[in-house]
Amino acid sequence: MTGEFSNTYPKATITVLLEPTGGTREIPRPKTVSQLLNRLAVRQGSALVIRDGELLTPDRRIEPGDTITVRSVVSRG
């Protein structure tokens, strides 16, 4: 067989938009919302996780290439 075989695959990352700080992060291979929050060191219940306008629960799957918004929830009293 001639030619080179490329053994590269697309990165299994997701893009995370952090609100209200406005930051952006690339996170490799989280499979669920819960894993994503753990990698971001964000406690469940302290942020809303949104994909395409839909709120996601901790058990929801995340797919490579997704863009996810993590919006901190602040309670003021």
**What CATH number is given to the structural domain containing 57?**
3.10.20.30
32 belongs to a structural domain: yes
5 belongs to a structural domain: no
Residue span of the structural domain in which 37 resides: 13-72
On average, the pLDDT of the chain sits at: 88
| Alpha helices (H) along the chain | 33-39
* Cut 0.85: pTM above it: no
pLDDT at 34: 97
42 belongs to a structural domain: yes
77 belongs to a structural domain: no
What does the pLDDT look like over 27-64, one tens digit per residue? 998 999 999 999 999 999 999 999 999 999 999 999 99
- In the chain, where do the E strands start and end? 13-19, 24-28, 47-51, 54-55, 67-72
pLDDT higher than 70, residue 10: no
SS3 for 35? helix
